[in-house]
Amino acid sequence: MSLAEGVLQLVEETARRENAKRVGIIVLEIGTLSSVEPDALKFCFESVAQGTIAQGAVLDILAVQGAGWCVQCAETVPMQERYSACPKCGRYQLQVTGGTEMRVKEIEVE
């Protein structure tokens, strides 16, 4: 719920700055390793947006693939989940380098 409230706050600040009458689409990037459940976030956002300029806005969520640096291979490899083995060498010496983020990429206002 607090993530949805944070997104709403950013959206409302942007809408005020742009003198918008309503918010149509909000594009979010959410990393697959971020521990954010997109469907739960959508549900919570709909609840917190009731009665605001963002009521009825569509959340468009883009998944950002997880990535990690393999110490053994000395290269970046895709990661499906934290603490998984390197898909190339099978070792567990991965440092997460991407896919943990959540950010508002775009806001469409009228």
Residue type for 24, please? Answer: G
The pTM (predicted TM-score) of the whole model is 0.85
- Which CATH code is given to the segment(s) 2-65+99-109? 3.30.2320.50
What is the enclosing helix (H) or strand (E) of 47?
helix 38-48
- Domain ranges in the chain? 2-65+99-109
Q: What is the pLDDT at residue 70?
A: 97
| String of DSSP letters for 62-75 | EEE-EEEEETTTTE
Across 28-50, average pLDDT: 97
Q: What is the mean pLDDT of the chain?
A: 96
